[in-house]
Structure 1
Amino acid sequence: MIKVFTVLIQFRGSHYQLGFEQGQDLKDSVLLKNRRTQWQKRRKRQFFTDVSEAVELLNQFGPGLVAELQGLADGLAWTFEQAVKEFSGYYLEEERSGCSIMTGTDFLVRNYDSHPSSYEGRLVVYQPSDGGYASIGPSMQITGRMDGINEKGFAMGYNFTNRIGSGDGFVCNMIGRILLENCATVDEGIELLKAIPHRSSFSYILFDRTGESVVVEASPRKVVVRPANMCTNHFELLKEENRYQSDESIERLNRIKAQWRPSLSTRQAYQFLTFVVPNDK
């Protein structure tokens, strides 16, 4: 078993200040060196960012993040354009994974089944002073969030479905960050997911303090919603967007359905996704 670690980052202040502090901390970090190594491996695949378009869309959906990117640029002594290309989340595609999420009476628990090389090991607790809800969640690409919960009791997570047919838009982790900073309820989350452009096909699991739980199936072409307490790596409504093979994802979902019940304790739910459900890749 590979050991991983998490650094807890706590911050209260403006988005610019958060970006600048993170830039200072990351300037000579192993994390950025690992990112450069990953980019070298990806050179055969082309990624493009229209900086002005990314900034325009961030100003529409998450304006504080533009200031955070400027802070990152200043803290790293980079240009703003370089920070947008690296951290705006408006062009990258995610690695294949076998993730599982389920919700219950008072929990949302997930198994993030991805290779440790893509794990940043940063749990960020952030309270913006210039707009947006306070939230906690593990970071992805520094500015994004893999999952999390905010001060309103709104929680979210996402599962990969397909990258074929990708379009211009934001990737899952930046969408996750925008959801946490701007949504207090499942209904607000649905509204945002229907409005924001999506890079690839992902399921977003939304859960709020009322106990409402939905899965939003989102592709660059269409966004649909269904009530659900569990999700793996395939769409149930937008079936035409699925990968050619979804057998393993369906089998994993059936394992969850067989043992799920809303009254599971958080410990039981955690142990179930840790030891029973993981995808053995």
Structure 2
Amino acid sequence: MITIQARTMELSGTSYEIGFRLGKMAGAIPPLKKLHTGGMAGFGKEQAAEAAALFKRWCPGLEEELTGFADALAVPPEQIFYYGMTYLLPRCSQIGVLPGAAAEGRPLVARNYEFSHEAEDFCLVKTSVTGKHTHMGTSVIFFGRDDGFNEHGLSVTMTSCGFPVGPMPYMRPPKITGLQFWAVIRSVLENCKDVEEGLDHLEGMPIAFNVNLMLVDKAGNLALVETLDGKTAVKRLGPGSPEQLFWTTNHAVLPELRALEPQALVHSLRRYEWIGKELKDAGGITRDRLKEILLSKYPDGLSCRFFEEYFGTTKSMVISPAEGTIDLCWGGRIENGWNTYDIREPLAESVRPIEIDPVKADPAEYQFKPL
């Protein structure tokens, strides 16, 4: 068993002020300072300038936040780890339940996030940047968001689509110059009120990560934006659609992109098929049922403990975009408890211990099978 400190944090002010505060916090914790200011090999001033220009165009405010962070730590921008990681290994599962399939008649979003516990912030953040929409979600490398929802009832979550893309040697090299998913998600949450605005905002955005990006709003609209090696496909559903349930794991599900990568990892196919078996014909889906599914142990469930193989459940959540709440459980273990947070309420800052229970994965889970 491994004990980890999970935290909550509320951030408000201008982008620069928020970044400066984060920098001061990181500076007071030597391991955090080392992690966030280590830079990346081959990433220098020229690349940092190119990244800043990309952020200004597609993620307004992010560059000022990173500048405040660098100023607080008295380091040059190119030394900030977020730059190199975002300018261009999660697994994950996500389920969108529209009003027609939900017991409460309002949309719900359920998701598990799988990664390594050593590369997870374990931090829920409520962020109110001056001039932008307030949002709540879990952070990645402080500045990014790997999921969340905003004050207007728009939820954004993701799963990787195919083999993860990134700058590390064990990852798939990006086919285009663009953004990592965590910058994309935060940009949508801070600048869009509903699915329609979200799709407009994403139009033309260079997304280097291969991602299944799911947008759900409080009116019961859902859109999947799927990207693979620079190509994009979109699926839309609404309150009147015959389909009132949609889910993804870690392979392409839209016909336009499936042909580009007609195979998937065994664990992705198993989880995808298991969700369908459990929910496809269920109807009247409740939050409690979604929580059971998220925390049931793989392969007869979605909770995974293979942290050393970057396939451990770091967090599970059920979001109600209409109600403005998130139910969050850390570490994929019911023993860590579910906690409910309301975006309309102040988020009290806290640090508390949670536990994970790593086990070794069967290598067969990482074999590819045809779709």
TM-score by length of 2: 0.67
Q: Confirm or deny: 8 A CA contact 1:170 1:197 kept in the other structure.
A: yes
Separation in 2, partners of 1:87, 1:142: 12
**Which residue in the other structure is 2:271 paired with?**
252
Q: Which moved more, 1:107-116 or 1:5-14?
A: 5-14
**Which residue in the other structure is 1:263 paired with?**
284
Once the two structures are superposed, residues 212-236 of structure 1 have per-residue CA deviations (whole angstroms, 9 ceiling, x without a partner) of 1222111342111124621100002
Larger radius of gyration: 2
- Is residue 2:38 matched to residue 1:21? no
Q: Greater strand share, 1 or 2?
A: 2
Q: Which moved more, 1:46-55 or 1:208-217?
A: 46-55
Runs of 4+ aligned structure 1 residues displaced above 4 Å come to 34-37, 46-49
Separation in 2, partners of 1:101, 1:4: 24
Counterparts of 1:102-181 in structure 2, within 5 Å, are 102-104=95-97, 105=99, 106-129=107-130, 131-161=131-161, 162=163, 163=165, 164=172, 166=174, 167-181=176-190
Q: Aligned to 1:81, which of 69, 75, 78? A: 78
Once the two structures are superposed, residues 169-195 of structure 1 have per-residue CA deviations (whole angstroms, 9 ceiling, x without a partner) of 110111111111111111222233332
Question: Structure 1 residues 36, 242: CA separation in 2 closer, same or farther (over 3 Å shift)?
Answer: farther
Q: Confirm or deny: 8 A CA contact 2:192 2:198 kept in the other structure.
A: yes
Segments of structure 2 that go 5 or more residues without pairing to the other structure are 100-106, 166-171, 237-244, 307-360, 362-371
- Is residue 2:118 matched to residue 1:99? no
- Is residue 2:249 matched to residue 1:232? yes
- Is residue 2:61 matched to residue 1:64? yes
Question: Structure 1 residues 214, 262: CA separation in 2 closer, same or farther (over 3 Å shift)?
Answer: farther
Question: Structure 1 residues 181, 34: CA separation in 2 closer, same or farther (over 3 Å shift)?
Answer: same
Separation in 2, partners of 1:10, 1:63: 20
Separation in 2, partners of 1:114, 1:28: 26
Separation in 1, partners of 2:225, 2:56: 23
What letter is aligned with 1:127?
Answer: S
| Distance apart, 1:6 and its partner CA | 2.0
| Distance apart, 1:89 and its partner CA | 4.8
Helix, strand or coil at the partner of 1:211: coil
Greater relative contact order structure (CA < 8 Å, 6+ sep): 2
Helix, strand or coil at the partner of 2:87: coil
Counterparts of 1:25-64 in structure 2, within 5 Å, are 25-29=25-29, 30-34=31-35, 50-64=47-61
| Distance apart, 1:244 and its partner CA | 4.6
Segments of structure 1 that go 5 or more residues without pairing to the other structure are none
Q: Aligned to 1:199, which of 208, 222, 226? A: 208
Alignment: residue pair count: 271
What letter is aligned with 2:72?
Answer: G
Question: Structure 1 residues 122, 103: CA separation in 2 closer, same or farther (over 3 Å shift)?
Answer: same
What letter is aligned with 1:217?
Answer: E
| Distance apart, 1:241 and its partner CA | 4.3
What letter is aligned with 1:277?
Answer: L
Separation in 2, partners of 1:273, 1:135: 23
Q: Confirm or deny: 8 A CA contact 2:92 2:113 kept in the other structure.
A: yes
Question: Structure 1 residues 177, 203: CA separation in 2 closer, same or farther (over 3 Å shift)?
Answer: same
**Which residue in the other structure is 2:320 paired with?**
none
Helix, strand or coil at the partner of 1:21: helix
Question: Structure 1 residues 6, 263: CA separation in 2 closer, same or farther (over 3 Å shift)?
Answer: farther
Q: Confirm or deny: 8 A CA contact 1:87 1:142 kept in the other structure.
A: no
What letter is aligned with 1:265?
Answer: T
Question: Structure 1 residues 165, 20: CA separation in 2 closer, same or farther (over 3 Å shift)?
Answer: closer
Helix, strand or coil at the partner of 1:170: coil
Q: Greater helix share, 1 or 2?
A: 1
- Is residue 2:270 matched to residue 1:277? no
Q: Which moved more, 1:116-125 or 1:187-196?
A: 187-196
Q: Confirm or deny: 8 A CA contact 1:99 1:113 kept in the other structure.
A: yes
What letter is aligned with 2:221?
Answer: E
Q: Which moved more, 1:62-71 or 1:266-275?
A: 266-275
Separation in 1, partners of 2:275, 2:33: 36
Question: Structure 1 residues 87, 254: CA separation in 2 closer, same or farther (over 3 Å shift)?
Answer: same
Separation in 1, partners of 2:283, 2:223: 14
